[in-house]
Structures are given as structure tokens and as C-alpha cells.
Amino acid sequence: MHWLFQAVVSTATLSLATGVPAPPKSESIDIFELPLPPVAPTNDTGACNTSINPRHTGCIGRTSDFFQAGDFAPDGNHVVATVEFIGAPLAPHAASIFTGQQLILIKTNGARFSTGDPWKCLSCGVPSQNSRSLDDARDYPHIARNGQQALWGHNILYCGGITLVSERCTPDKVHIYPIYWPAGANSSGSPREMRMHPDDKHIGWSAFTSGGENSYYGRLQFNESPTNGTLRVPRYDLVGVNLLAKPNGTAPIMAQGSELKIDDQAIGVGELRGFSGAGDEILYIGPTHEANNIDVFAVHIITGVVRRLTSHPEYADPIAFSRDNQWFVTMDTRGSNRQMWMAGMRHIPPLVDLVTVTAASSTRNNGARRFFQPILIDRYGDRGDYFGQHVNYAGNGTNGSVNDPNWNGKADPAFSPDGTHIVYWQSLVIPPACGESNPLPCPISTAQGGRTYRVMLARLATRKPISPVPVFDAPDTIPWATQFPPGASLPSTYSLPPGNYTLRGKHSGFAKTRIAKDPLLNIIKMVSVEYTDFSDDGEHYLHGHEAVTLTLSASDPWLNHLDWYSDILQTGATNASKKTGLGLPSHNKCPRKYF
Ligand SMILES: *[C@@H]1O[C@H](CO)[C@@H](O)[C@H](O)[C@H]1NC(C)=O
Ligand SMILES: *[C@@H]1O[C@H](CO)[C@@H](O)[C@H](O)[C@H]1NC(C)=O
Ligand SMILES: *[C@@H]1O[C@H](CO)[C@@H](O)[C@H](O)[C@H]1NC(C)=O
Ligand SMILES: *[C@@H]1O[C@H](CO)[C@@H](O)[C@H](O)[C@H]1NC(C)=O
Ligand SMILES: *[C@@H]1O[C@H](CO)[C@@H](O)[C@H](O)[C@H]1NC(C)=O
Ligand SMILES: *[C@@H]1O[C@H](CO)[C@@H](O)[C@H](O)[C@H]1NC(C)=O
Ligand SMILES: *[C@@H]1O[C@H](CO)[C@@H](O)[C@H](O)[C@H]1NC(C)=O
Ligand SMILES: *[C@@H]1O[C@H](CO)[C@@H](O)[C@H](O)[C@H]1NC(C)=O
Ligand SMILES: *[C@@H]1O[C@H](CO)[C@@H](O)[C@H](O)[C@H]1NC(C)=O
């Protein structure tokens, strides 16, 4: 009722200018840890013995490079996960099938499967003729809304029309088909990060080439006996592929004579992150709208209207919407203070980002360690003083508690179909992000068997079940996108010429901007900006300058060296300064507490 009441209040306070309601109040959330298979102490054959798992249904490791929890089955009582089973005995022992990366279901309501376990393996022991050419990518596990199929990395798992949660779905009934993109291998890079549309038919993904990352959208089409391509087994073809870029799109920053123009409606689907709850919008990490402030955006499938969902200075990435399209949960570093030194001053146009974006986005990690926690935000996103709510705010901060900052969020979170629960998973900091030469001591895991990953179920205590909105009728052809049939090559993209430019504030003032390129690599290597009374909103004014020079490593394009000088004063609605000095800012070290 609490929540419904707020919705009424929000409607009453709708801003006539924008249609954006007042932000919701924070709400009460309880967190529970979900069960996983027991931990075996070693990888040795047979280490998963009867003392550890008397039911012979598999063991997992203390650490795993492959573990990933996914989303809910339609009944809301199960979530799907990729686990890595270890320590199985050799065949012909019945338990030998519990080995390697597998897809499991976990009960979320305390119930058990008929085996007595709160989990069940869907992919273990599937006859080899039912699983020909299983693709190695088994990430981002997802259950289709029809409950009968799972997207398992670059594979579709299907139980012959039986719902996956049913006891009748046994290994002999399961088929696993690889997903095949005929055009994918060469010009456009290998597909990654596949996410299914709520219509269970369309799919989105990203791929890297030397020119950067692009994202795509296509339809899954079952091909029982392929007569072309390199994969001649029953497979799902990706057909009707759209490159998620306008055919002759505008770049977010373009030169027009001696002026720079910034277009916040330019579509730049960097890394695809999925779809809204109804499937009317594509979610992605896109070009920054404020300097060094990396955010999640949504673009409407038909209209191409871009919405910025997050604007907190820190880094947002994985995201999931509720099925009524009214809420999303994102994995975000906000509260960790890892990005505040470079993005804490708001309302700076994203000019230095032309050279800083790779380094800026990498500050969310320390190697395998992410600094994410789940953040609950309404569909209109961050605005004013509203930056959503930490889902795991409660807890006493002790080792292993729900808000222990040594347990960091991973991808992807998910809402239960009725909107009353959120599932997310976390991993514990492990060497080399702690211990050894790192001054941060390594915590001792409080999870079962010393496990360093855990799946958490959040109950939104005051919410009533929602009704999902109808799934958006997603087209095969996205009107604003670029058709990308087999054999197509990537169109050339806009390249900002080096030179001296003026960017005019939308309200007042200007920014004299100098852009220099590396003549050999043809990439921007230096941006220098001098702000004079610059203001886009008539409330925040910038004065001073910022200059960043990028030096790329000859051997590793991901290794960026930046020489960064800032001396910016902000006046108006906020008095602030951004000034570089010698040495690391103290808050750039790993925080122990952030709530
Ligand atoms: C199972 O392995 C553990 C060591 O990992 C050992 O202590 C235990 O005795 C074993 N149990 C059986 C039944 O072999
Ligand atoms: C299992 O082996 C892998 C490498 O093969 C290693 O990364 C992992 O830590 C091992 N797990 C356990 C529980 O020993
Ligand atoms: C991709 O490259 C391989 C090897 O370079 C070549 O054999 C194959 O025909 C190419 N495929 C396409 C679709 O261009
Ligand atoms: C491959 O075969 C499928 C039908 O099996 C057809 O739809 C598709 O156009 C073919 N692709 C190419 C590149 O010939
Ligand atoms: C794309 O835009 C460029 C630059 O504005 C223009 O020169 C070119 O003709 C356009 N191409 C098409 C196909 O519209
Ligand atoms: C912190 O909370 C945990 C439960 O999450 C409890 O076991 C522990 O006693 C609490 N510690 C303190 C110091 O309150
Ligand atoms: C909690 O973990 C830290 C390492 O992060 C460790 O130094 C400390 O001893 C642990 N505290 C307890 C009570 O186990
Ligand atoms: C840009 O301005 C700088 C001085 O600020 C000058 O040295 C440089 O030659 C100019 N570059 C161009 C392309 O005009
Ligand atoms: C900013 O500083 C000026 C001068 O000290 C002061 O008049 C103004 O009230 C301050 N503004 C804010 C928002 O604090």
C-alpha cells in the first residue's frame, strides 16, 4: 500500500513541463542468501564425496571464474545460474555428470526439488546427441518468459516444451542448441553479452572490432539442418540483424566549422545491456553526457528517443527493469567514492572524455574486483537529489553482512516477475585485489565452505505484486538502425578532426577547445579546454581549464597513460573546484565503508 500511495502522490506532483513525477521515498528491503551446491575443498577427482554431498548431486569450488546468477523463472520461485561443478568422481559413477560449467535452477522460496536439493541441474547428463557443438560462452543465463527455454550464453536450452522448473524436465528431454551468427566471425567481431528480448524471439548483443565496440539486434530462427555456414548442427541462426547505429548517424560531439556541437540525442549503443521490462527500449552504456560520468541509457526501439537513466557521478553498468516498466535496478559504484575525484563536479561537458573514457570506465574495477552494489531507481532515473536507494542498505557492516563492502555486486541483477523481489549476486574480494603485495587484508569468507561468491534475494517488503505490462511488439527491422545482412561490413564512423574549436554553453559562455591527434594511430591524443562563464543550464557556471594527454601502450591498446591537469572553478548553484595535484587523492584508495 505504501508504494501505491506514493504513486498517487507522484501523479499529483507531476511536473507539467516534463511529465516526470517527484522521486519516490526509500523503502524497506530484507535480504536473504540463496542456497548453492556444497563446496568441495579441492578440484581433485572424487573430492565431491558423500561427506560433502551425500545425494551425489555435485559440488562447486570456493572460487569460480564462471559462476553467474541470472534471472527468475515465470513462477518467481526459481532463479537460474551458471555454476562450475568440481571434484566429480569418474564415469560410470552417476555423479560424474556434475562437472564443469552447467546451468542450474535454485529455489528461492525455501522449497526443494524431489532430489532433496534446493537446486537442480538442467544441463548435466544431457545426451551428447542432444547437445552438439555446445558453445563455450555460458554467461548471462536467462529464462525465457515462456518458461520453456533458457538463453545460456550463446546457447538455447530447451526441454521439449516442458517448463524448465518442472520435475518432468529430465536430462534426456533437454536439447541445447548453439546460436550462430553467419556474418559475425570476420568483419564485425565475435558476439558477446547476449540478452534476450521479453518477446523470447529477438536478441541483442555486442561485439568488439579494432574500431571499438558495436551492438546488434536480431531474431532467433531455429535451423534444424543447416546447409551453409561452419556449424552444421541443429542451431539457432541470428537473422534480420540490425546494427544499432543510424545509417549516417550523428556523433555525440561533432565539428561544425570552428564550433563544436554536442548532441545528447545521438544514438551511441556502446555496450548493450538488455531491454526494458516491456521491451520497448534497448538499454546500454552510452557516450557520456557529463565529463567522466559513465551512465546507463535507454533508446526507444521505434522512435530512437534516448533517455539517460543514471546521472550519479559514479559508474553504472548492469541493469534490469521490472515487468511493469516502472523500476530498474542497476549495479553501480555509487557510494564507493572511486570516481568522485574525476566526476564529482557536475555539469562539465564531456570533452576530455574523447581521451579519458577508457581509463575512466576502468576505475570501476580492480582487476576482477568490481565495486558495484545494487541500486533501486524508478523508471525516470536519477534526478535532482534523488539517486535511488541501495538495495542492500541494511546490515551492520560486519564481515559477511549484506552491506559488507568486501562483497561486490556482479552482472546481472533481476526483478521477480511480480516485482516484489530482486535477485543479485556478489563476489568477495580475493587476491590480487587484496593480500599479497596489496595493503588491503583479505577477508575470510563467511559463506558456506569458504565460498567467495553468493546469490542474494532482496524482498521489497512493502510492495504488492504488480501486473506486467504487455510485451512490446518488437519489429525485426528497427527504423533508425542499420541493416546488417550476412557479408555487410561496418560503416565508417565520424571522426572529429584535430583543431581549435569553440563550444558555446546552451545558456551562456563558451569553452575554447583544442584537439590534437596522433598522426600515426589517427586517434585523439590530447584535449585541452578553457572555460569562460560556461553554462548549459543557467545555474552552474564553469571557469578555468582542463587538459588531458593520452599515451597508448605500443603493446596493449587497453593500457592508457594519462597526463591530466584540471583547474576548474564552478559557481552559481554550486560552489566547487576541481584541481589536480601531486599524488593520489586519499579517496582513490579502496574504501572499507561506504554506506
Ligand atoms: C571426503 O573428503 C574429505 C576431505 O576433503 C574427507 O575428510 C572425508 O573423510 C571424505 N569422506 C569420505 C566419505 O570419503
Ligand atoms: C580448480 O582449478 C582451477 C584451475 O584449474 C583453479 O583456478 C581453482 O582455484 C581450483 N579450485 C579449487 C577449489 O581448488
Ligand atoms: C572469414 O574469414 C575466414 C578466414 O579468414 C574465411 O575463410 C571466411 O570465408 C570468412 N567468412 C566470411 C563470412 O567472410
Ligand atoms: C543459409 O541457409 C539458410 C536456410 O537454411 C538461409 O535462410 C540463409 O539465407 C543462408 N545463408 C546464406 C549466407 O546463404
Ligand atoms: C553521410 O553524411 C556525410 C557527412 O554529413 C555526407 O557527406 C554523406 O553524403 C552522407 N551519406 C549518406 C548516404 O547520406
Ligand atoms: C551483525 O549482523 C549479523 C547478522 O547479519 C549478526 O550475526 C552479528 O551478530 C551482528 N554483529 C554486530 C556487532 O551487531
Ligand atoms: C574482517 O575482515 C577483515 C579483512 O577485510 C579482517 O582483517 C578482520 O579480521 C575480519 N574481522 C573478523 C571479526 O573476522
Ligand atoms: C590552436 O591553437 C594553438 C594555440 O592555442 C596553436 O598553437 C595551434 O597552432 C592552433 N591549431 C590550429 C590547428 O589552428
Ligand atoms: C557561493 O559562494 C558565494 C561567494 O562566497 C556566495 O555568495 C554564495 O552564496 C555561494 N553559493 C552557494 C550555493 O553556496
DSSP-derived letter for residue 166 is S
Would you tell me how many other CB atoms lie within 10 Å of the CB of residue 545?
16
The answer to whether the CB of 396 is under 6 A from ligand 6 is: yes
Instruction: Write the residue with the smallest CA distance to atom 3 of ligand 9.
Output: 575
Radius of gyration of the chain (CA): 25
Q: Candidates 541, 543, 575: which one to mutate for ligand 9, based on the most atoms within 8 Å of Cβ?
A: 575
C-alpha to C-alpha distances, 433 to 367, 397, 409, nearest whole angstrom: 7, 20, 15
Ligand nearest to the CA of 62: 2
Q: What number is the average pLDDT over the span 78-85?
A: 98
Ligand nearest to the CA of 571: 9
In a domain, 179, yes or no: no
Ligand nearest to the CA of 512: 8
**Final residue of a domain: which of 487, 518, 545?**
487
- Give the distance from CA 529 to its chain's centroid: 32
In a domain, 520, yes or no: yes
In a domain, 430, yes or no: yes
Tell how far the Cα of 402 is from the centroid of ligand 6, in angstroms: 10
Which atom of ligand 6 is least distant from the CA of 398?
A: 1
Task: Supply 396's cell numbers.
Answer: 551492520
Which atom of ligand 9 is least distant from the CA of 574?
A: 13
The answer to whether the CB of 577 is under 6 A from ligand 9 is: no
Asked whether residue 13 carries a pLDDT value surpassing 70, the answer given is no
pLDDT band, residue 40 (cuts 50/70/90): very high
Domain identity same for 332 and 423: yes
Tell how far the Cα of 306 is from the centroid of ligand 1, in angstroms: 57
220 within 8 A of 238, measured Cβ to Cβ: yes
pLDDT above 90: percentage of residues in the chain: 85
Can you give the pLDDT at residue 188?
A: 73
pLDDT band, residue 380 (cuts 50/70/90): very high
Domain identity same for 287 and 334: yes
Q: Which of 57-66, 69-78, 174-183 has the lowest mean pLDDT?
A: 174-183
The answer to whether the CB of 577 is under 6 A from ligand 7 is: no
Can you give the pLDDT at residue 540?
A: 98
In a domain, 473, yes or no: yes
- pLDDT digits 0-9 by tens, 320-343: 999 999 999 999 999 999 999 999
Provide the pairing of β-strand 306-308 with 414-415: unpaired
- Which of 298, 179, 171 minimizes the C-alpha distance to 233? 179
- Which of 296, 322, 319, 532 minimizes the C-alpha distance to 413? 319
DSSP-derived letter for residue 122 is S
Can you give the pLDDT at residue 184?
A: 55
- The helix/strand/coil state of 283 is strand
Q: Which of 157-171, 174-188, 389-403, 496-510 has the lowest mean pLDDT?
A: 174-188
Can you give the pLDDT at residue 487?
A: 85
The answer to whether the CB of 61 is under 6 A from ligand 2 is: yes
Tell how far the Cα of 407 is from the centroid of ligand 7, in angstroms: 13
Per the DSSP assignment, residues forming a β-bridge with 360 are none
Asked whether residue 11 carries a pLDDT value surpassing 60, the answer given is no
Which atom of ligand 7 is least distant from the CA of 406?
A: 5
The answer to whether the CB of 401 is under 6 A from ligand 6 is: yes
In a domain, 209, yes or no: no
Can you give the pLDDT at residue 183?
A: 66
Asked whether residue 32 carries a pLDDT value surpassing 80, the answer given is yes
Asked whether residue 592 carries a pLDDT value surpassing 50, the answer given is no
**Final residue of a domain: which of 487, 512, 546?**
487
**Residue 480 belongs to a domain with what CATH number?**
2.120.10
Which atom of ligand 6 is least distant from the CA of 401?
A: 5
Can you give the pLDDT at residue 520?
A: 86
- Which of 219, 68, 217, 70 minimizes the C-alpha distance to 143? 70
Domain identity same for 286 and 426: yes
Asked whether residue 583 carries a pLDDT value surpassing 80, the answer given is no
Instruction: Write the residue with the smallest CA distance to atom 2 of ligand 4.
Output: 228
Which atom of ligand 4 is least distant from the CA of 226?
A: 5
Can you give the pLDDT at residue 312?
A: 98
Q: What number is the average pLDDT over the span 292-302?
A: 98
Q: What number is the average pLDDT over the span 286-299?
A: 97
CA-CA distance, 127 to 120, in Å (whole number)? 17
Task: Say if residue 252 is exposed, middle or buried (CB neighbours under 10 Å; 0-12, 13-18, 19+).
Answer: buried
CA-CA distance, 545 to 53, in Å (whole number)? 63
Structural domain span for residue 539: 499-594
Q: What number is the average pLDDT over the span 48-57?
A: 97
pLDDT band, residue 587 (cuts 50/70/90): very low
pLDDT band, residue 406 (cuts 50/70/90): very high
Domain identity same for 311 and 456: yes
Can you give the pLDDT at residue 45?
A: 97
Can you give the pLDDT at residue 582?
A: 80
The answer to whether the CB of 277 is under 6 A from ligand 7 is: no
pLDDT band, residue 586 (cuts 50/70/90): very low
Tell how far the Cα of 201 is from the centroid of ligand 6, in angstroms: 46
The answer to whether the CB of 258 is under 6 A from ligand 9 is: no
Domain count, the chain: 2
CA-CA distance, 462 to 440, in Å (whole number)? 38
Domain identity same for 457 and 329: yes
* Total residues found in the chain within this entry: 595
Can you give the pLDDT at residue 58?
A: 98
Asked whether residue 473 carries a pLDDT value surpassing 80, the answer given is yes
Which atom of ligand 3 is least distant from the CA of 185?
A: 1
pLDDT band, residue 7 (cuts 50/70/90): very low
- pLDDT digits 0-9 by tens, 194-210: 999 999 999 999 998 87
Domain identity same for 382 and 526: no
Tell how far the Cα of 175 is from the centroid of ligand 3, in angstroms: 29
Which atom of ligand 9 is least distant from the CA of 575?
A: 1
**Final residue of a domain: which of 487, 512, 542?**
487
In a domain, 225, yes or no: no
The answer to whether the CB of 575 is under 6 A from ligand 9 is: yes
Can you give the pLDDT at residue 554?
A: 76
Can you give the pLDDT at residue 186?
A: 56
Domain identity same for 504 and 458: no
Can you give the pLDDT at residue 110?
A: 97
Tell how far the Cα of 98 is from the centroid of ligand 1, in angstroms: 18
Asked whether residue 273 carries a pLDDT value surpassing 70, the answer given is yes
- pLDDT digits 0-9 by tens, 487-544: 888 998 999 999 999 999 999 999 999 999 998 888 999 999 999 999 999 999 999 9
Cβ contacts of 569 within 8 Å, gap of 6 or more: 542, 543, 544, 576, 577
Domain identity same for 308 and 406: yes
Which atom of ligand 6 is least distant from the CA of 402?
A: 5
CA-CA distance, 301 to 129, in Å (whole number)? 38
In a domain, 442, yes or no: yes
Domain identity same for 422 and 506: no
Domain identity same for 439 and 341: yes
- Which of 380, 367, 439, 389 minimizes the C-alpha distance to 589? 439
In a domain, 87, yes or no: no
Q: What is the mean pLDDT of the chain?
A: 93
Tell how far the Cα of 87 is from the centroid of ligand 1, in angstroms: 12
Can you give the pLDDT at residue 588?
A: 40
Of 153-157, 179-183, 361-365, highest mean pLDDT: 153-157
Residues within 6 Å of ligand 4 by CB: 182, 223, 226-228, 486
Tell how far the Cα of 64 is from the centroid of ligand 2, in angstroms: 7
Domain identity same for 283 and 359: yes
Domain identity same for 384 and 411: yes
Task: Supply 379's cell numbers.
Answer: 523508471
